Amino acid sequence: MPNDERSGSTARTIHGITEFSLREPEDPARGRTGRYAVWAARTLRDSYGIEAGFTGVLSLPRISVEAGGHTAESLLLLTASAAVNGIELSQKDAAGLAKEMDSEYTKSLESPALRAIAAHGRKGALLYVDTASGNAIPYPGPEGGDAFRIMTVYSGLSSGMLKDVLRARADECRKAAGLLGILGGLRSAPALSHVPEKVFIERSGKLPDELRQKAAHFYAESSRAAEGAAAWKTGDLGKLGRLMNESTESAFNNYEAGDPAVRSLAEIICSMDGVHGCAYDGSVSLTALVDKDFSEEAGREILKSFAERHPGPADKAAVYFSGTGDGLRIV
């Protein structure tokens, strides 16, 4: 993204390099390379009136590209653009701008938790995220480093194919929040996070079944998050893993998310020795907490079993191993 010396407003991409004017960056077409750079520039321009652009190379983990997640890309572009304009963004500010960018331009429906993790993550720590406020609290793990590995399994499905389902679920949650707010003597609440769980317990019987299920998932997830943080602080990975499994089961059955292939993949992962638990991210990937000595060969066995059940998406499926790491920062 160059400086603003160019007079034209049309973005152009040549050999993977995107150029555009900061004065009037056009609204790029869906699928165009470099569109996130344009959207990041527009978001910062509207909030801070930036004048300088930059030339740089964006490097992202393969899993971020294949699974269709753009949270890291948005945060990197926003932070770099702010830095070259002398703007110091806090991690919370960056996550807030990424939310604005998503709402106005990208419309990816990515979880607030993913933005918080990318912005506030800490090596050796579990991040407890309040998705309503955006606050994130890192809880350090046991001394001596990670006693586990994090395994991310990409199903090979396109993330775009599930967007309509996720939008429908989000709408149902908003409807449930509005009705619960009215039933509980509150104003029509914009989100379930604005409705105390006590109101849900007392008034949920008056909700339509499909809305009650979605709300039940939300409140159960809130409880599981608190229990998971407590398990982490005591080093109880077994309990943390069981909570992850409960979350996944509820996402599939109560929230009614997840393609059949993703559900099948979760079953395969959870059947493997050395897997503490498996969490569904709401889209096309699963994240598992596994023993530190869980091997790459075991990961290949997962893909082999998945290919036997779902040969179509399995062609692109992949397994990635990682540990905890620091989130957004300038080095």
Hey, what amino acid is at 257?
Answer: A
Measured CA to CA, the distance from residue 83 to residue 330 in angstroms comes to: 9
Measured CA to CA, the distance from residue 83 to residue 93 in angstroms comes to: 13
In this predicted model, what pLDDT tens digit does every residue of 66-115 receive, in sequence order? 555 678 888 889 999 999 999 988 888 888 898 888 888 877 666 677 77
pTM for the structure as a whole: 0.82
**DSSP sequence for 128-155:** EE-TTT--EEEEE--TTS-SEEEEEEE-
Which structure tokens are listed for 264? 């099948």
Measured CA to CA, the distance from residue 296 to residue 320 in angstroms comes to: 9
Question: What pLDDT, on the 0 to 100 scale, is given for residue 192?
Answer: 93
Q: Is residue 104 within 8 Å of 143, Cβ to Cβ?
A: no
Hey, what amino acid is at 154?
Answer: Y
Number of residues written out for the chain: 331
Torsion on CA atoms 322, 34, 281, 229, rounded to nearest 10: 60
Question: What pLDDT, on the 0 to 100 scale, is given for residue 73?
Answer: 83
Measured CA to CA, the distance from residue 250 to residue 234 in angstroms comes to: 25
Measured CA to CA, the distance from residue 273 to residue 178 in angstroms comes to: 44
Closest by CA position to 218, among listed 196, 237, 240:
196
Which structure tokens are listed for 143? 């001394």
In this predicted model, what pLDDT tens digit does every residue of 260-286 receive, in sequence order? 999 999 999 999 999 999 999 788 899
Measured CA to CA, the distance from residue 198 to residue 306 in angstroms comes to: 42
Closest by CA position to 41, among listed 88, 84, 12:
84
Burial of 158 (0-12, 13-18, 19+ CB in 10 A): middle
Angle, alpha carbons 320-248-199 (nearest 5°): 140
Measured CA to CA, the distance from residue 277 to residue 147 in angstroms comes to: 14
Q: Check residue 29 and report its DSSP letter.
A: P
Report, as ranges of residue numbers, the positions in the chain whose pLDDT lies below 50: 1-9
Measured CA to CA, the distance from residue 217 to residue 211 in angstroms comes to: 10
